[in-house]
Chain A
């Protein structure tokens, strides 16, 4: 009742203001995000297309429109195709085992378990570690002469591997770093989805005599499919843009080559690193060419993500 006098004394103008407040405030509250995204997310992406049609360098004041010239040059550029191959190779090597392992770990954690928190925290430790730290640490572990990994391998009669030097070995080393950093994170995402699966399904399956692995295959995976699709797409997009790992690995493995070449023979230069090399590390600062490469990369991201979406959606229980 105490509100009644207030309402009575409220003047007409205040009523208007109230309506305005209720109508407009919500838009004002979500506006910061959309403004920021348009300015620093959407605009650069679209403007990349415009730049890619020009002869455009940091050094020159004028930009000449050259149509699709940058793209035709790019398609004939061996370094571009090399980078495409490396991106796909590292992407597959790091993502496929990572997601399989993540699902399995989530399945192991999805029980009443002592030390549950300790296990979860330790799983996520690598993800809290910065990418610079990860690569610096692993470059040491993967060292040819005194690295711990070669030392352990030597017990099994494996000779010293120069991890950074070879194409396949450097891809494996980089994939290990990426997996180390992201497996636990994805496992927790899967675990969150698994906890939403009704317990009764498992109880019924246990009564029917279904084993652990069968339950994972027949119940868990079909039930968490939306999350799987989400994780696969996000991981794919991430894998197609890998740049910091090869960049830092090239620097700290001591193999030589420039900051952005991905090893002296470009054996692990990814697409994103190629873009960076053309735009920022090359003496020409060729923004036009780099933007064209960005767009082809975007195309590749969309295609690969689309294919993975279709595969994940169609996959029956036997995906793992």
Chain B
């Protein structure tokens, strides 16, 4: 029993330490990196380093872009996933089971392999360099649909829908007045998961955006690559660009983890 706690504590330590250490380095001067032993406590240079980040890359613009992109994707994913989840969980239609299986199967498609035609498509649509290229392909995804299907088939009583029908609700009316309110807890978790993954997305934004109109992650990679060995700068950017999200996660961790684990139990 004691060994169990010891192991888990050690794992928790190794999970958290790199994040803590990044703050330590981000709040120091580059010269501190050469110290032996390495510094283990934060210094007083954090805001000066953050100011350098804003001087080096268009970080304000990057934050704005990331908020717009991750925000719109989250709202859209919550909406369309609930809509499709409602259909899969509670409506009768021909081909339903096959379509649900296909939906789950698409999660296994290595989408990154289509990156070149996807880029060509964006060139055709004249979306390269714009947020559309990030938002539109991500408006809904298989995970979200599956997640909401799971939740609604478990948590939404069919009697409630039948009662709505008797009262003369159309299908859309049912969705709007019955399903959406009932779906709120799961949709909130899905929204947070989606926001985090959209915020952290790196490769596709790198391909399709230009460095002068970046998202946070693209700006961070510019920081890390442009200045060889200026780790302090890179980590200061990391600290303001990703740690707020980590903090939010720590706050809502319980709900988010519950969501991930529910999504994992395959029906």
Contact = CB atoms under 8 A, between A and B. Distances in A.
Decide if A and B are genuine partners: yes
A23 B93 contact: yes
A310 interface: no
B155 interface: no
Interface residues of B, number: 94
Interface string A227-246: 10010011001001101100
Contact of A41 (B109, B116, B196): B109
Nearest to A187: B11
Contacts of B249: 121, 124-125, 128
Interface stretch (B32-40, B51-59, B182-190): B32-40
Interface string A286-297: 010011001101
- Determine the main DSSP class of A at the interface with B: helix
A26 B96 contact: yes
B138 to A, nearest CB: 8
B171 interface: yes
Interface string A114-134: 000111111111101111111
B167 A3 contact: yes
Given A40-B137, A138-B18, A252-B234, A29 B83 contact: yes
Contacts of B36: 146, 151
Contacts of A275: 113, 115-116
A25 to B, nearest CB: 4
Contact of B203 (A111, A240, A244, A287): A244
B172 A148 contact: no
Given A30-B84, A126-B15, A298-B110, A132 B225 contact: no
- Determine the main DSSP class of B at the interface with A: helix
Interface in B29-79: 33-38
Given A30-B84, A48-B113, A125 B225 contact: no
A251 interface: yes
A184 interface: yes
A205 interface: no
Nearest to B37: A151
B101 interface: no
15 contacts: A22-B171, A29-B86, A30-B87, A40-B118, A113-B8, A126-B18, A130-B199, A130-B202, A132-B238, A135-B224, A136-B224, A148-B38, A192-B262, A237-B110, A279-B116
A83 interface: no
Interface string B230-267: 01001100100110011001100110110011101110
Ranked 6 nearest A-B pairs via Cβ: A44-B114, A121-B253, A251-B225, A130-B200, A192-B261, A122-B12
Given A121-B257, A133-B242, A148-B21, A30 B113 contact: no
A191 interface: yes
B203 A243 contact: yes
A173 interface: no
B97 interface: no
A156 interface: no
